[in-house]
Structure 1
Amino acid sequence: MPHIVLFSGGTACRSTNLALLSKPVRLTRIVPAWDSGGSSKVIRESLGVLAVGDIRQALMTMAHGEGRAGDVVKVCNARMTSGTEEDARTEFALYAEGVHPLLERMEPGLRGAILNYLRTFRAAIGPDFDFRNGSIGNFILTGAHLAHNSDINTAIFVFRKLCDIEGHVWPSTAADGVDLSAVLNDGTRVDGQHRVTALDDVESDVGIREIVLSGKDGAGVPANEAVIESLESADAIVFGPGSFFTSVLPHFFVEDIVPAMARNVHARRIFIGNILQCRETRGMDVARMLEAAAEVWRARGGADVRPFTHVLANRQLLPFEKTVGPFAYLGNGALEDVGTRLGAEVLIGEFEDPWQRGQHDGRTVADVLSSLLPPSA
């Protein structure tokens, strides 16, 4: 089957991910490894390990789309109580001691593997860890990461087998300690992915000038070898939908990612414009995003190869700015001109979900992506 590689973040591409799983394709998700908020933040700061939140969320989306709803998936998708710390510790103990009802009725081999990873996590995290609102799936995946010599690819492989997931999910780098920062147009630096996605109104109005992705001690960020292999075998490489400056563009800064895409002259490279602006992209349009991505592409080894073969953009139906909640619809700007200059075919359509304003219609997007696959795929 043709192989589609999807660079994305979390919820924005969920409907597209699910719809693609109904197609006769092999699907690989490439997710960020620089999540610095929520449950991932607490684990990352406590253990100094790779952030696993986006990985686990993408794996759960794969499980949902593949119709996996067994007890293992239910456990991996569960969250701790947000009540008292003591209640959360008690709830975690039910899982770690194997007396939670979902674990008690599991086949012994599956239960044993999950208990091993939860206990590995508990031993590493120490007695003062705050489990409140934490993801059991994050705990299991982190435990597997630790149990398998900090090899995230092996941990993901085991997690997929436990949940019976066929689709692939890889972080673009297997290195821990990766941090994302943004430099605003006034020179202000905002450190941390969770802060960039939640810019305040003043920062959002100023806008982002550039982003910086750095490894430990300011070093470069090496690519995950599994990602390079996926890009080399891809028939289509899709960028988005998702947060442009934190979930899509940063992958270009990972070493060897852009050159690997450029070497695959067979694959389509398809950029999907978002439906709405967000705090990262207030005041921007699709054309400006393409120009920003093209600039990074050339700087990171894309040479003279065009960064995108196709661009999907939502049709602008009204001559004035319309909003959904606090955010306006993302305009297309001088998209036709930029597309011509970059050598990308622009496909403008009605990609908004008719039932969920501001979100993509996954089936429509998946149909277009399927139609763009190379003839030999």
Structure 2
Amino acid sequence: MAEFAVNKLSKNRMPKVVVIGGGTGVSVLLNKLKTFDLDITAIIAVADDGGSSGKLRQITQSIPPGDIRNVICSLSTWPDKYIDILQYRFKEGNDILSGHPIGNLLISGLAEMEGNYTAAIEILSEMMDIQGRVLPSSEVPLTLCANFSDGTEIEGESIITSQGKNIERVHIKATNQNDVVTPGPGVCEAIADADVIVFGPGSLFTSILPNLLIEEVGQAVLKSEARKIYICNIMTQKGETESFTDADHVRALHEHLGQKFIDTVFVNNEKIPEEYVNLPSQDENLLQVKHDFKGLLEQVPSVISDRFLKLNEKGIYHDGEKIGKEINNYAFSHQRGIRMNF
């Protein structure tokens, strides 16, 4: 007989919320979630190979720091004027520093000093007094690979979406062939201990799925007793989710992990003004994601639709504060009274 312990959860403790993804959308959400009484862990993708992150991962032969930097900044309690220092990006014209944010260089330096990325993130997180934890989904540099509907395959996150083809599936591999793909320290434990797991918002194939395709991470998600929320993108993305409905997004998640696991989907039901469609400043966006309520209910038990839209001069975003309130309410209403650890 398997030994197990029954742990009664205190009604007074903060619900444990794990957010899995990468990119701007997750940072916007976390910036609002930190204002609630939640125990937050952010698990961040490490397959980015473009821009400053791509250059630094080549130089240091380690994971990219960009999304990690943004998430740490979003969870920090520092005044904006200090956060702006880490976010400052060197201007063009310097062959060595051009395009690199100060924070990326700081994280890379700390990782070299400490000998691993997790320790570097812990030091910077403590220094910036963040509300929560930030974990890389793996400390092994990963390469994202995509299989397209025409039978071709491309490697490298930064060029996958530039192919102008329909993605059928994605998979990951260790960038260095001698490495074994393993989860980052604490990742599977955080998932197993979560009350709520949130996926996104963010790029489906390049920010969310790369985390879940680490075998142990995907299995931990499937085994977790946590309530699982997917925040669907508001807009389609060029070379990634063109013509996708919200149900198509969820279907792709389920197909990649081999079974249905999402409990609730958050979808925006507000129409995008025409002047915000195909903005030059939002070159990844195409059209508003179509709502397929019937298709969603074939995939998930529940759907929460609302005006989760926030518009500004830069483009279209999720309303982080509104979604944060929904997740906070969801977390407290679904907080478990008893957990069994086998």
Q: TM-score range by the shorter chain?
A: 0.7 to 0.9
User: Where do 1:285-324 residues align within 5 Å?
Assistant: 285-298=245-258, 306-315=260-269, 317=271, 323-324=277-278
Call closer, same or farther: CA 1:238–1:218 in 2, change over 3 Å: farther
The match for 2:307 is 350
Does the aligned pair in 2 maintain the 1:309–1:343 contact within 8 Å? yes
Q: CA deviation at 1:291?
A: 1.1
1:129-174 deviation line (CA, Å, top 9, x unaligned): x21121221111111111112x111111111122222321111111
CA distance in 1: counterparts of 2:105 and 2:335, whole angstroms: 42
TM-score, normalized by length of structure 2? Answer: 0.84
The match for 1:238 is 198
The match for 2:230 is 271
Q: CA deviation at 1:54?
A: 1.2
The match for 2:136 is 171
Letter of the 2:231 counterpart = I
The match for 1:213 is 172
User: Where do 1:10-25 residues align within 5 Å?
Assistant: 10-25=23-38
Aligned length: 312
Call closer, same or farther: CA 1:344–1:132 in 2, change over 3 Å: same
1:93-121 deviation line (CA, Å, top 9, x unaligned): xxxxxxxxxxxxxxxxxxxxxxxxxxxxx
User: Where do 1:129-278 residues align within 5 Å?
Assistant: 130-149=96-115, 151-176=116-141, 178-197=142-161, 199=162, 203-204=163-164, 206-215=165-174, 216-217=176-177, 221-265=181-225, 267-278=226-237
Call closer, same or farther: CA 1:18–1:140 in 2, change over 3 Å: same
TM-score, normalized by length of structure 1? Answer: 0.77
Aligned to 1:132, the other structure's residue is in SS state coil
Q: CA RMSD in A?
A: 2.3
Q: In structure 2, list runs of 5 or more residues that go unmatched.
A: 1-13, 280-284, 337-342
Does the aligned pair in 2 maintain the 1:324–1:358 contact within 8 Å? no
Identity score, percent:
25
1:232-291 deviation line (CA, Å, top 9, x unaligned): 2211100111011100112111021122122221x1100111110111111111111111
Q: In structure 1, list runs of 5 or more residues that go unmatched.
A: 86-129
Aligned to 2:103, the other structure's residue is in SS state helix
Call closer, same or farther: CA 1:70–1:236 in 2, change over 3 Å: same
Q: Highest CA radius of gyration, 1 or 2?
A: 1
CA distance in 2: counterparts of 1:148 and 1:44, whole angstroms: 17
Does the aligned pair in 1 maintain the 2:34–2:131 contact within 8 Å? no
The answer to which structure has the higher helix fraction is 1
1:1-49 deviation line (CA, Å, top 9, x unaligned): 1111111212123332221111111222111111101111111112212
Is 1:77 aligned to 2:93, yes or no?
Answer: no
Does the aligned pair in 1 maintain the 2:146–2:170 contact within 8 Å? yes
Q: CA deviation at 1:82?
A: 1.6
1:281-327 deviation line (CA, Å, top 9, x unaligned): 111111111111111122xxx6xxx4111011121649x9x934361
